Amino acid sequence: MTGGADPMNDRMCIVTRRAGEADDLIRFVAGPNGDVVPDLKRQLPGRGCWVSVDHTAVEKAVAKNMFAKALKSAVKPSSDLPQMVDRLLMDQVLGMMAMARKAGQFVTGSTKVDIAVRTGEALAVFHASDAAADGVRKIDQARKAMALGADIHIPAFHLFNADEMATHLGDGALIHAAALAGQAGEGVVKRATMLQRYRHIEGRSQVGS
Read off the pLDDT of residues 94-104 as tens digits, 9 standing for 90 and up: 999 999 999 99
Sheet-wide strand order for 122-127: 106-108, 176-180, 122-127, 156-157
Distance CA 60, CA 169 (A): 33
Q: Which CATH superfamily is domain 8-79 in?
A: YlxR-like (3.30.1230.10)
Could you give the angle at the alpha carbon of 156 between the alpha carbons of 154 and 160, nearest 5°? Answer: 150
The pLDDT of residue 172? 52
| Extents of the domains making up the chain | 8-79, 85-205
> What share of the chain has pLDDT > 90, as a percent?
76
The pLDDT of residue 204? 41
- Nearest one of 158, 157, 142 to 189, comparing CA atoms: 157
Question: Taking the CA of residue 90 as centre, how many other CA atoms within 13 Å lie in the half-sphere pointing to its CB?
Answer: 16
Residues whose CB falls within 8 Å of the CB of residue 48, separated by 6 or more in sequence, listed in order = 4, 5, 6, 27, 28, 29, 39, 42, 71
DSSP summary character for residue 205: G
The pLDDT of residue 155? 95
The answer on pLDDT for 169 being more than 70 is: yes
> What share of the chain has pLDDT > 70, as a percent?
89
Strand partners, 55: none
The CATH number of the structural domain formed by 85-205 is: 3.30.1330.30
Angle, in degrees to the nearest 10, between helices 110-118 and 133-149: 10
Read off the pLDDT of residues 28-45 as tens digits, 9 standing for 90 and up: 999 999 999 999 999 999
Average pLDDT, whole number, for the chain?
88
pLDDT mean over 110-131: 94
